[in-house]
Structure 1
Amino acid sequence: MAAGGSRGDPLALGPEPEPAASPPESRWGDQEPAAEIQFKILRGHSDTVSSCHFCFEDTKILSCSYDKTVKLWDVAKGFLIQVFEEEHKAPISECNVSADDKRVITSSYDNTVKAWDMETGKMLWTIEHEGIVTSCNISWDSKYVVSGSDRENAIHIIDAASATVMAHVQGHHKSTITRCCFDPDNRRVTTVSYDKAIKLWDMKTQSTSITIKEGHTNAISDCCFTSDGHYLCTASWDRTLKLWDVKTGEFRCRGPISLNQGHEGSVSSCLFSQDASLLVSGAYDKTVAIWDTDAGCKKLSLKGHWDWVTDVAISKDKKWIISASKDSTLRLWNVEKVDRLPSVMESRKARGSKIAQCEECEKPFSYLHCSGSEMTNKCVFCRLSSPVRNVLPLPPSVSPDV
Structure 2
Amino acid sequence: MKTEFQFSNLLGTVYGKGNLLFTPDGTCLLSPVGNRVSIFDLVNSKSYTLPFAHRRNIARLALNPRGNLLLSVDEDGRAILTNVPRRIALYHFSFRGEVSALAFAPSGRHFAAGIGRQIEVWHTPSTPDVADGDLEFAPFVRHRIYTGHFDNVRSIEWSTDSRFFLSASKDLTARIWSMDPEEGFVPTTLGGHRQGVVGAWFSKDQETIYTVSKDGALFVWKYVLRPDAPPDATDNDENWQWRIADRHYFVQSNAHVTCAAFHPESKLLVAGFSNGIFTIHELPEFSQIQNLSISQNDIDFVAMNKTGEWLAFGASKLGQLLVWEWQSESYILKQQGHFDSMNAIAHSPDGQRVITAADDGKIKVWDVNSGFCVVTFTEHISGVTACEFAKRGNVLFTASLDGSIRAWDLIRYRNFRTFTAPSRLSFSSLAVDPSGEVVCAGSIDSFDIHIWSVQTGQLLDRLSGHEGPVSSLAFAPDGGTLVSGSWDHTVRVWNIFARTQTSEPLQLMADILCVAFRPDSKQIAVTTLDGQLTFWSVSEASQQGGIDAQRDVSGGRKMTDRRTAANVAGTKSFTCIRYSADGSCVLAGGNSKYICLYDAQSGVLVKKFTVSVNLSLDGTQEFLNSRLLTDAGPQGLIDDQGEASDPEDRRDNTLPGAQRGDAARKTRPEIRVPAVGFSPTGRAFCAASTEGLLIYSLDTGFQFDPFDLDVTVTPASTLATLAQKDYLKALVMAFRLNERNLIRRVYEGIPVEDIQLVVKDIPTVYLGRLLRFVAVQADESPHLEFNLRWIEGILSKHGRWLKDNRGLVESEVRQVEKCVRRIQNELARLVDENVYRIEYLLGQPREVEKGEEVRRLAFEVDGEGDVGEMEGVQGGEEEDDEDEWMGIE
TM over 0.5: yes
Q: In structure 1, which of residues 219, 222, 235 is the aligned counterpart of residue 511 of structure 2?
A: 219
1:158 matched to 2:452? yes
1:29 matched to 2:51? yes
Which structure carries more strand by proportion?
1
Whether the 8 Å CA contact 1:229–1:247 is kept in 2: the answer is: no
Could you say what secondary structure the match of 1:257 adopts? strand
Equivalent-residue separation in structure 2 for 1:51 and 1:109 (angstroms): 13
Equivalent-residue separation in structure 1 for 2:585 and 2:54 (angstroms): 22
1:285-324 residue pairs with structure 2 within 5 A? 285-305=592-612, 306=617, 307-324=671-688
Q: In structure 1, which of residues 223, 232, 244 is the aligned counterpart of residue 524 of structure 2?
A: 232
| Stretches of structure 1 lacking an aligned partner (at least 5 in a row) | 1-20, 338-402
Whether the 8 Å CA contact 1:92–1:108 is kept in 2: the answer is: yes
Which consecutive aligned stretches of 4+ in structure 1 deviate over 4 angstroms post-superposition?
30-33
1:261-300 residue pairs with structure 2 within 5 A? 261=549, 262-264=552-554, 265=571, 266-300=573-607
1:110 matched to 2:402? yes
Whether the 8 Å CA contact 1:180–1:190 is kept in 2: the answer is: yes
- Total equivalences in the alignment: 303
Task: Give the CA deviation at 1:205.
Answer: 3.4
CA deviations over 1:200-220 (Å, ceiling 9, x no partner) = 111113523310122xx3321
- After superposition, the Cα gap between the structure-2 partners of 1:43 and 1:223, relative to the gap in structure 1 and judged at 3 Å, is farther
Could you say what secondary structure the match of 2:539 adopts? coil
Task: Give the CA deviation at 1:185.
Answer: 2.5
Aligned residue in 2 for 1:380? none
Aligned residue in 2 for 1:331? 694
1:3-402 residue pairs with structure 2 within 5 A? 23-26=35-38, 27-29=49-51, 44-84=337-377, 86-129=378-421, 130=423, 131-170=425-464, 172-203=465-496, 204-214=498-508, 217-249=509-541, 251=542, 255-261=543-549, 262-264=552-554, 265=571, 266-305=573-612, 306=617, 307-325=671-689, 327=690, 329-335=692-698
Task: Give the CA deviation at 1:150.
Answer: 2.8
Equivalent-residue separation in structure 2 for 1:146 and 1:183 (angstroms): 13
Whether the 8 Å CA contact 2:489–2:507 is kept in 1: the answer is: yes
Equivalent-residue separation in structure 1 for 2:500 and 2:576 (angstroms): 27
Task: Give the CA deviation at 1:110.
Answer: 0.6
Task: Give the CA deviation at 1:181.
Answer: 1.6
Query: Aligned letter for 1:225?
Result: F
Task: Give the CA deviation at 1:295.
Answer: 2.8
Query: Aligned letter for 2:409?
Result: D
| Stretches of structure 2 lacking an aligned partner (at least 5 in a row) | 1-32, 39-48, 56-87, 89-334, 555-570, 618-670, 701-889
Task: Give the CA deviation at 1:332.
Answer: 0.7
Task: Give the CA deviation at 1:329.
Answer: 1.5
Aligned residue in 1 for 2:42? none
Whether the 8 Å CA contact 1:199–1:208 is kept in 2: the answer is: no
- After superposition, the Cα gap between the structure-2 partners of 1:82 and 1:297, relative to the gap in structure 1 and judged at 3 Å, is same
Whether the 8 Å CA contact 2:349–2:680 is kept in 1: the answer is: no
Could you say what secondary structure the match of 2:502 adopts? strand
Could you say what secondary structure the match of 2:499 adopts? coil
Query: Aligned letter for 1:102?
Result: N
Which structure carries more helix by proportion?
2
Could you say what secondary structure the match of 2:696 adopts? strand
Whether the 8 Å CA contact 2:406–2:418 is kept in 1: the answer is: yes
Equivalent-residue separation in structure 1 for 2:380 and 2:37 (angstroms): 29
Equivalent-residue separation in structure 1 for 2:504 and 2:369 (angstroms): 42
Query: Aligned letter for 1:28?
Result: L
CA RMSD of aligned residues (A): 2.6
Query: Aligned letter for 2:547?
Result: L
- After superposition, the Cα gap between the structure-2 partners of 1:43 and 1:279, relative to the gap in structure 1 and judged at 3 Å, is farther
Task: Give the CA deviation at 1:319.
Answer: 1.6
Equivalent-residue separation in structure 2 for 1:270 and 1:143 (angstroms): 25
Higher relative contact order (CA 8 A, sep 6+): 1
Whether the 8 Å CA contact 2:392–2:434 is kept in 1: the answer is: no
Task: Give the CA deviation at 1:300.
Answer: 1.1
Whether the 8 Å CA contact 1:220–1:236 is kept in 2: the answer is: yes
Task: Give the CA deviation at 1:304.
Answer: 2.1
Whether the 8 Å CA contact 1:68–1:92 is kept in 2: the answer is: yes
Task: Give the CA deviation at 1:43.
Answer: 7.2
Equivalent-residue separation in structure 1 for 2:420 and 2:503 (angstroms): 27
CA deviations over 1:111-145 (Å, ceiling 9, x no partner) = 11111111122111212232111111211111110
Query: Aligned letter for 1:187?
Result: G
CA deviations over 1:227-264 (Å, ceiling 9, x no partner) = 11100011122112111111233x1xxx3311223312
Equivalent-residue separation in structure 2 for 1:104 and 1:73 (angstroms): 14
Could you say what secondary structure the match of 1:87 adopts? coil
Whether the 8 Å CA contact 2:595–2:611 is kept in 1: the answer is: no
Query: Aligned letter for 1:269?
Result: C
Task: Give the CA deviation at 1:323.
Answer: 0.6
- After superposition, the Cα gap between the structure-2 partners of 1:114 and 1:60, relative to the gap in structure 1 and judged at 3 Å, is same
CA deviations over 1:74-114 (Å, ceiling 9, x no partner) = 11222211112x42111011011111242111111111111
Whether the 8 Å CA contact 2:35–2:53 is kept in 1: the answer is: no
Equivalent-residue separation in structure 1 for 2:400 and 2:506 (angstroms): 27
Whether the 8 Å CA contact 1:182–1:189 is kept in 2: the answer is: yes
Aligned residue in 1 for 2:846? none
- After superposition, the Cα gap between the structure-2 partners of 1:132 and 1:328, relative to the gap in structure 1 and judged at 3 Å, is farther
Could you say what secondary structure the match of 2:51 adopts? strand
Instruction: State the TM-score, normalized to the length of structure 1.
Output: 0.70
Equivalent-residue separation in structure 2 for 1:70 and 1:205 (angstroms): 37
Whether the 8 Å CA contact 1:196–1:220 is kept in 2: the answer is: yes
Equivalent-residue separation in structure 1 for 2:499 and 2:337 (angstroms): 44
Task: Give the CA deviation at 1:328.
Answer: 5.6
Query: Aligned letter for 1:178?
Result: S
Equivalent-residue separation in structure 1 for 2:502 and 2:607 (angstroms): 37
Query: Aligned letter for 2:606?
Result: K
- After superposition, the Cα gap between the structure-2 partners of 1:28 and 1:98, relative to the gap in structure 1 and judged at 3 Å, is farther
Could you say what secondary structure the match of 2:553 adopts? coil
Whether the 8 Å CA contact 1:31–1:304 is kept in 2: the answer is: no
Equivalent-residue separation in structure 2 for 1:309 and 1:330 (angstroms): 10
Could you say what secondary structure the match of 1:156 adopts? strand
Whether the 8 Å CA contact 1:45–1:328 is kept in 2: the answer is: no
Query: Aligned letter for 1:332?
Result: I
Whether the 8 Å CA contact 2:397–2:407 is kept in 1: the answer is: yes
Aligned residue in 1 for 2:236? none
- After superposition, the Cα gap between the structure-2 partners of 1:286 and 1:277, relative to the gap in structure 1 and judged at 3 Å, is same
Instruction: State the TM-score, normalized to the length of structure 2.
Output: 0.33
Equivalent-residue separation in structure 2 for 1:205 and 1:213 (angstroms): 25
